[in-house]
Amino acid sequence: MWDERYSTEEYAYGKNPNDFLKANYKAIPKGKVLCLAEGEGRNAVFLARQGYTVTAVDASQVGLSKANKLAEEHGVSIELIHADLADFDPGDSEWDGIVSIFCPLPSALRKEVHKRVVKGLKQNGIFLVEAYTPDQLKHRTGGGNSAELMTSKESLIDQLDSLNFIHLIELEREVIEGKYHTGLAAVVQAIALKEQRD
């Protein structure tokens, strides 16, 4: 599905970064950032332009090729990893920041990925998330039609209980990102800190 979606000349979700990331990227310590399910690279390229060392992982080789092209357009480089998140291991205390923007995963897999995210963050690392909530089904402005692939504030609290939430909110906002995310949307936004342990 994703190879097909990304196979057009245009960028399915546009070339501009996600609004929540753009407004809050400075919460992430300067250093290494991992972008999950990064698709065509808009968020990874934005972060690279701000001086971060960025790795983008995605299951679509077509999307990653477009991410590389976008990086070249902006004169930055990003590391690209072709992998399914079911199989991808972000390592142990590797990342200053991990970013997940509209990453649709079945709940069981999302729980496992979030466990790996916590392990993969360095002390004082930041996990930044924006996802559709099940309320998005009434808007139908992006995110598909399965509540199983959507996230709630409660599930983030449950799955990221070892992190400290700096910001956590469910809200409705206009999401204008290419032709697949356009209009009023129900989202959850989170910025979570892996605090230094004594």
pLDDT tens for 3-44 read 788 778 788 888 999 999 999 999 999 999 999 999 999 999
Whole-number pLDDT of residue 9: 75
Residue 95 has pLDDT above 80, yes or no: yes
Asked if residue 63 lies in contact with residue 44, where contact means CB atoms within 8 angstroms, the answer is no
CA–CA gap between residue 174 and residue 14 (Å, rounded): 15
The residue extents of the domains of the chain are: 2-193
Superfamily of domain 2-193: Vaccinia Virus protein VP39 (3.40.50.150)
Report how far apart, in Å, the C-alpha atoms of 97 and of each of 11, 80, 135, 153 are: 25, 16, 28, 20
**Which tokens go with 161?**
């209980």
Q: 21 or 180, which is more confident?
A: 21
What's the mean pLDDT in 149-174? 96
8-state DSSP, 136: G
Instruction: Give strand ranges (E) for 59-149.
Output: 79-82, 95-101, 121-132
What's the mean pLDDT in 105-127? 97
pLDDT tens for 67-82 read 999 999 999 999 999 9
Residue 65 has pLDDT above 90, yes or no: yes
